[in-house]
Homo-oligomer: A and B are copies of this chain.
Amino acid sequence: MSTLSQHSRAVIGTLVHAPRFGELEIVTRGALVYDGNGIITRVLKDTEVLDGDLRAALALDPLLDEVVDYGTKLVLPGLVDAHCHAPQYVFTGTGMDLPLLEWLNKYTFPCESRFKDLEFARLAYTKAVSRHLSFGTTFCSYFGTIHGAAADLLVDIAEDLGQRAFVGKVSMDRNSPDFYIEDTSRGVQDACDFAVRTLRRYPAGARLVEAADAADADPTPIFRFERSLLNSPHEVPLVLPCVTPRFVPTCTAEMLTKLGGLSAKYGLPMQSHLSESKGEIAWVRELHPECTTYAQVYHQFGLLHRGSYMAHCIHSDDEERRLLLSTGCGVVHCPSSNFNLMSGVMDCRRFLAEGAKVGLGTDVAGGHSPSMLDAIRQAIVASTVTALRHKEGGSGEAGPAPLSYKEALYLATMGSAQVLNMEKVVGSLEVGKKLDVLVVDVDSPGSAIDCFGREDVEERVQKWLFLGDDRNLHAIYVDGRLVKAPPA
């Protein structure tokens, strides 16, 4: 064994995860052993050890520094929010009375422009990250604002609080209000600088920057993406920069081209919005008559690849869905936002059936709740509405079923991890992945759940998913580090 197995630790509990769509795997009493890098090195069941005594078995391992026994509490993979806007947390829950484009102008842009004030940014981002994390989001993909210095703060805060994150400095250089817009070349430079600064915080990132800069003329950007850090759990930094054009209408062709190059050069993830509302699609068609679909615009600028993911995709037609699939671009379903902004009802089963990567996002503040439990519940509602449409359409066929809780849990863990191209790093309780887990206590004192003694593990999971909240999160681990400690 390498030195990594020194400083191993273990947690014991009822292990529950959804490693495959629709399937729940339960180990009624099991242990996750993890090394000093926070990587799970063993998954052990009580049925595999002498007398079924996990603690005794683990005590025999001289390299194990610490064993925490959570009894019958549930140990689940952390929730992964694949799309949210950290600055918008300020006004979340208010002002949901406008459609997307008006809402952007009235609420979003004025609020985001305040983040040039770094004191305000620190306050707001601290509250936002604290809240997402305390709600069980161990890994979050954030949009920031156009301000590089504020984005640095967001990285600082995620690191300090111990949340895994992709952080995007937003890029936008057209069709934006005077008080909140970038100059193209300055904006591109800011995006590059932020990406490089963030990568350089970590030894592996610094090496990547060095290698990429040395091979500046490399004609195979996809190759660069393939060699990115994202698939090597031991090396992957806690926070990575994400290339983040706001969406096509607010970015010039020049900016999109250069952002595509930035993403390719360092193998960086890329996030944006796609086909959220019909008005937006019509606008993109007007702006880019050369493209047959909205996604095609991103594609022509090198922004669709397997490290890309797009929020919404409600109105993606056959051609657009094929393009997303063929490029490996992921899809982030944000049901609460889709309802609030009246954008439409996204049919995530169709994407899944076609083989697309689908995850879930809160889309704060289009979605009001920073809780991925809310995203899970609303994804089930949205899929129910899709199923009802089919049923009431009168075709007579059995339509698609609503998402089951098992399927929705998968989307919020493995699904989102795949979308973020991090499925080898997080999303389930498997050897080789990081220990990003929630310890869930459905009976925690003062919680909003009542149990009556006969509930089995699946029922306890359901009670948590449908009735639980942060009060049921007894402990939270990210990267093997305890970021929310159990109550004393």
Contacts and interface: CB of A to CB of B under 8 A. Distances in A.
Interface string A435-461: 000000000000011101001001100
A283 B14 CA distance: 44
A450 B339 contact: no
B381 A94 contact: no
Nearest to A134: B448
Q: Is the interface of A mostly helix, strand, loop or mixed?
A: helix
Contact of A459 (B94, B97, B123, B342): B94
B467 A93 contact: yes
Contact of A470 (B404, B448, B463, B466): B448
A296 interface: no
Given A466-B369, A469-B469, A89 B450 contact: yes
Contacts of A92: 466-467
Contact of A342 (B93, B388, B448, B462): B388
A381 B380 CA distance: 12
Given A90-B452, A450-B89, A467-B92, A402 B369 contact: no
A344 B388 contact: yes
Interface string A294-325: 00000000000000000000000000000000
B94 A462 contact: yes
Interface in A76-100: 89-97
A55 interface: no
A369 B465 CA distance: 11
Given A466-B369, A467-B369, A339 B384 contact: yes
A294 B469 CA distance: 40
Contacts of A369: 466-467
Contacts of A405: 96
Given A448-B469, A463-B93, A385 B345 contact: yes
A378, A385, A459 — which one has the most chain B CB atoms within 10 A of its CB? A385
Interface string A372-407: 000000101100110110011000000000101100
A276 to B, nearest CB: 14
Interface string A109-124: 0000000000000011
A349 interface: no
Contacts of A384: 339-340, 342
A363 to B, nearest CB: 14
A451 to B, nearest CB: 9
A368 interface: yes
Interface string A463-487: 1011101100000000000000000
A266 to B, nearest CB: 34
Interface in A204-220: none
Given A93-B466, A467-B92, A342 B452 contact: no
A121 B90 CA distance: 45
A388 B450 contact: no
A200 interface: no
Interface in A311-357: 339-340, 342, 344-345
Given A448-B469, A450-B89, A467-B92, A388 B345 contact: yes
A96 B383 CA distance: 14
A114 to B, nearest CB: 10
Contacts of A450: 89, 127-128, 131
A135 B450 CA distance: 13
A89, A90, A387, A466 — which one has the most chain B CB atoms within 10 A of its CB? A466
Contacts of A385: 339, 345, 385
A466 B368 contact: yes
Contacts of A344: 388, 392
28 contacts: A90-B452, A91-B459, A92-B466, A92-B467, A93-B466, A94-B455, A94-B458, A95-B459, A96-B405, A96-B462, A96-B466, A97-B404, A123-B452, A127-B450, A128-B450, A135-B448, A339-B380, A339-B381, A339-B384, A340-B384, A342-B384, A342-B391, A342-B402, A345-B385, A368-B467, A369-B466, A381-B381, A448-B469
